[in-house]
Amino acid sequence: MIYQADATVKEKLFPLFADMKDTCILSCLQGHMGQAWVDHMGHPGAAQIIVGDFVFYAGDTESDAAIALVQHLPAQCLVIPANAAWAKRIEEVHQDNMQKIQRYAFRKNAADLAPLHLRRLLRKLPKDFERRKIDGKIAAMPSLQLISPDFTGQFESLEDYCKRGIGHCIMHQGEVVCAASSYSIYNGGIEIEIGTARDYRRKGLAAVAAASLILDCLEQGIYPSWDAANPASAALAQKLGYVPAGAYDAYEIYWK
């Protein structure tokens, strides 16, 4: 049997996830968003964190509830295990509905992100495109949500996003065509979500939107964390100044 952790139990989970650097874990354990599930409320030995599509596992894989935790998943998710033992559990349980992939981590150091370089990137915005900070009106625009509902989707509402989130976008002819936004938030930082409408890719818009968001974050003392889903995202991160910290394995899991 597994149990949903309350704030008191979440405090006990920091040691279990100490070796994992994904900021979504902090988002949950610090009480900003997401859920945590455990094998025992009083003395948790194995735990799962869910924030949006991301799922993390840490602790004792031999716990009686370990398999129940691995089976407890959203319909479509990206699973990140703390170690090889959890990876083995995931592969055993989901061998028929999983795909192993690589993601790319980056060093979390604000000194890597040079404002002068980022401002130079802003000047590369093509003619007839407009750079805007996402406000309540833009957050509600269908063109933003069509690119990615995850720009605002982890927040309780659009109003909540406008209070606690942050985002910048590129507009063309009154529609959002590219955006960089807070997928999740944690104390002193955000995890970046970025996307571009299909017909507007390969125009350099993502670099401009990301640079605009990163500059805003740095000016506010917020760290803009980047974790790349593919080599293209990793290349963009390096263009912006992020320093690679290595690739790691994750699992895409789809319930049939």
What are the tens digits of pLDDT across the range 18-40? 999 999 999 999 999 999 999 99
pLDDT in tens, 136-192: 999 999 999 999 999 999 999 999 999 999 999 999 999 999 999 999 999 999 999
Identify whether residues 240 and 122 lie together within a single domain. Answer: yes
E strand segments, the chain: 3-4, 35-38, 46-51, 54-59, 76-81, 98-106, 130-133, 167-172, 175-186, 189-196, 223-225, 244-254
Distance CA 74, CA 145 (A): 21
Q: How far is CA 119 from CA 74, 176, 206, 215, 239, in A?
A: 39, 21, 14, 8, 13
Note whether residue 77 is domain-resident: yes
pLDDT in tens, 237-252: 999 999 999 999 999 9
pLDDT band at residue 254 using 50, 70 and 90 as cut-offs: confident
DSSP state of 41: S
Model confidence at 256: pLDDT above 70 = no
Indicate the number of domains in the chain: 2
Note whether residue 209 is domain-resident: yes
The chain-wide mean pLDDT, for the chain, equals 96
pLDDT band at residue 76 using 50, 70 and 90 as cut-offs: confident
Note whether residue 19 is domain-resident: yes
First to last CA, the chain: 23
Identify whether residues 35 and 151 lie together within a single domain. Answer: no
Partners of 251 in beta bridges: 79, 100
Tokens of 219: 């000016």
What b/e sequence results for 200-210 when a residue is b if at least 16 CB atoms lie within 10 Å of its CB, and e otherwise?
beebbbbbbbb
DSSP element (H, E) containing 205: helix 205-220
Q: What is the pTM of this model?
A: 0.94
Identify whether residues 113 and 240 lie together within a single domain. Answer: yes
Contact 214, 240 (CB under 8 A): yes
Identify whether residues 143 and 37 lie together within a single domain. Answer: no
Helix crossing, 231-240 with 205-220: angle to 10°? 50
Decide which of 65, 95, 125 is a domain's last residue.
95
DSSP class per residue in 95-143: TTSEEEEEEEEE---GGGS-HHHHHHHHTTPPTT-EEEE--HHHHT-HH
pLDDT band at residue 74 using 50, 70 and 90 as cut-offs: confident
Furthest-apart CA atoms within the chain: distance in Å: 60
Which domain CATH number covers 130? 3.40.630.30
pLDDT in tens, 207-240: 999 999 999 999 999 999 999 999 999 999 999 9
Which domain CATH number covers 69? 3.40.630.110
Residue ranges making up the domain that contains 44:
3-95
Residue range 72-88: average pLDDT?
94
pLDDT in tens, 88-140: 999 999 998 999 999 999 999 999 999 999 999 999 999 999 999 999 999 99
Model confidence at 64: pLDDT above 90 = no
